[in-house]
Structure 1
Amino acid sequence: MSPAELTPERRLRRLELVITRRLDGLLHGSYLGLLPGVGSEAAGSREYQPGEDEVRRMDWAVTARTTTPHVRTVDADRELATWVLADATASMDFGTGDLEKRELTVAAVAAVGFLTAGAGNRLGTHLLHPDGVRRFPARSGRTHLLGILRALLAAPRSEASGDPGFPDALTQLNRRTARRGLVVVVSDFLDGLDEDGLGRGAPAWEQPLRRLAARHQVLAVHVVDPRELELPDVGVLTVVDPETGQRREVATAARALRERYAAAAQQQQATIAGALRRAGAAHLILRTDRDWVADIVRHVYAQRRLGRAAHRPISTGGATA
């Protein structure tokens, strides 16, 4: 039985089992590495541990006073406040792989929620859908998380234009998250590109995301479907823009057309990746035709390798710095 044929409760139960048995097992229940860094709210100092602590976190005032190296500690080491912006607008109601982009969004939000669950940790969500933005306050507990996931599964679908703006949703999220924490944005990031959709200029959401990243640690979960990257040769194909409802007949047998499509898609994806990088967000790509659990695990391990590299001493001609 496919996931789409299951009731919402059974789908959520299956999803929770996948995360707790497979994903959480592979990552040993640690959210560290899902996003870069460990927080920024000052909470005191402790003695420096060589090989474990970053020199840039050194608390020089305490070190000078005690003559023993100390590093600053932050609240996020013990208590995590996570905010999620989940995109459930019309362009997410599409998928030619194992999942629709919306279903993959649910999986990503569930992974973040279950992986960051713990004593004192809280999760808040802004759900962007065709009727507006639905907000869930930051709370802890499995019941709260399941309520968010049910709302995401039940979010209304729309093929017409009029979806609320993704850039505006980012701005609203920034205004409503006073305390520094972790922000996870799950979207295809197609809203806010140039009118032709190729993204030759800076996306409209880049500046709002940059402002978010100036106050929070930000992870951009980029949801992609393979048909957004290349066009198959299937004869005459009717394509529909989910954001506007516009329809068009495309002769996919033309090789030149498929090549132009692939080149334009590559440019679009490069624009999105570049904007996320400039905004200071970590970038995690999840595809509807790939193992999303494996992709999350690879991302976490890559972040941990970066963290370990930051701890290594820098060689300077036989000496270390």
Structure 2
Amino acid sequence: MSPAGLSALARLRRRGFAAPAPASPAGGAEFDAEFDEARAELVLSRLQLLITRKLDGLLQGDYLGLLPGPGTEAGESREYRAGDDVRRMDWPVTARTQTPHVRRTVADRELETWLAVDLSASLDFGTAQCLKRDLAIAAAAAIAHLTVRGGNRIGAVVGTGDSRVRMPARPGRKEANGLLRQIARTPSKAGRDDLGGLVDLLNRPPRRRGMAVVISDFLAPVESWARPLRKLAVRHDVLAVEIVDPRELDLPDVGVIAFVEPETGQMHEVQTADPRLRERYAAAAAAQRSTIAGAIRGAGAAHLRLRTDSDWLLDIVRFVAAQRHARTRGTTR
């Protein structure tokens, strides 16, 4: 884990995006707003530089088209040669020339990527090196860096409590950086977010085949988002990025802890000194994560898990390398 990137992002969340304090009529409020804006640009630039150093060149030449293979767009015809795929026979040209011809295909090199970023109140939690919200924004920045090149477009839908914001897909790295700044400045709101509704926004309106990335902790009921995710994977290559904090997997022995559910505000006191309670908690958490992973696999989506206590950039590098290896071997996931 690189503390320079996410710790700076956490400081930005606490201070850079906070509303400026009341100032004197002499223009102090305007100065504070400009200072916060400059700090936001600095921190996001630092995060982008960190991602560029680690991930630059990782996907250069990784795809010929939107699907693994030679491409799907029809190109010119040429004479048949031994070993050519007979399914690509160009029968009209063959009939006219009386010589077997095959149709070559041209790869579609323009990719449209859409992000569904869950920034509901449940992501304003973290007990390790950052909050889950900070890690979600960092994951969005990494995906943007890996996919925005050569005219590729990227857009996003962001869910915060009971509201959703759509950001149109535009090409270019400058537009992608503006998209990330807009995502990072989106405030969380109280209330439980409908993850299924957020994912379904990527299905409407119907778009050309591309890549869809869902970034969330997936703590919403599985039945609410599993079907929209399956529907999304029918037409697009889907990547599910799961954000996890270690305290969501097991409890430490630290006595009585008061837990507050961020989406509803309910508070519960838990005696963590009870070993049986900790065992039941760990078993229930493992079962929950297994159910989430099973639903993601069942939808036909790729699954990347990022933890707030691990090196998230290294996890992304390993995931991309595994995906490349799987495509080389001819497997889909």
Range with bigger deviation, 139-148 or 36-45: 36-45
Tell me what 1:5 maps to: 11
Tell me what 1:134 maps to: 165
Q: 1:172 aligns with which of 193, 201, 210?
A: 201
Percent of matched pairs sharing the same residue? 47
Q: 2:151 aligns with which of 113, 120, 131?
A: 120
Tell me what 2:73 maps to: 43
Gaps of 5+ in 1: 49-54, 194-202, 312-321
Closer/same/farther in 2, CA of residues 41 and 211 from structure 1, 3 Å limit: farther
Q: 2:131 aligns with which of 89, 94, 100?
A: 100
Closer/same/farther in 2, CA of residues 12 and 274 from structure 1, 3 Å limit: same
Tell me what 1:109 maps to: 140
**Contact 1:59/1:71 (CA < 8 Å) preserved in 2?**
no
Closer/same/farther in 2, CA of residues 252 and 68 from structure 1, 3 Å limit: farther
Helix, strand or coil at the partner of 1:85: strand
The one-letter code of the counterpart of 2:88 is: A
Closer/same/farther in 2, CA of residues 207 and 117 from structure 1, 3 Å limit: same
Tell me what 1:200 maps to: none
Cα root mean square deviation, aligned: 2.8
The 5 Å alignment of 1:182-261 reads: 182-193=211-222, 203-261=223-281
Matched positions, count: 289
What TM-score, normalized by structure 2, do the two folds share? 0.79
Tell me what 2:36 maps to: none
**Contact 2:218/2:242 (CA < 8 Å) preserved in 1?**
yes
Cα offset, 1:47, TM superposition: 9.5
Higher radius of gyration, 1 or 2: 2
1:128-177 residue CA offsets vs partner (Å, 9 max, x unmatched): 1125111111101223222222222222223x32x441111111220124
Tell me what 2:50 maps to: 18
Closer/same/farther in 2, CA of residues 153 and 137 from structure 1, 3 Å limit: same
Q: Distance in 2 between matches of 1:254 and 1:136?
A: 47
Counterpart check, 1:60 vs 2:87: yes
The one-letter code of the counterpart of 1:184 is: V
Return the structure number with greater relative CO, CA threshold 8 A, min gap 6. 1
Tell me what 1:315 maps to: none
Counterpart check, 1:287 vs 2:307: yes
**Contact 1:192/1:205 (CA < 8 Å) preserved in 2?**
yes
**Contact 1:40/1:180 (CA < 8 Å) preserved in 2?**
no
Q: Distance in 2 between matches of 1:112 and 1:129?
A: 20
Gaps of 5+ in 2: 13-38
The one-letter code of the counterpart of 1:88 is: L
Helix, strand or coil at the partner of 1:174: coil
What TM-score, normalized by structure 1, do the two folds share? 0.82
Closer/same/farther in 2, CA of residues 310 and 270 from structure 1, 3 Å limit: same
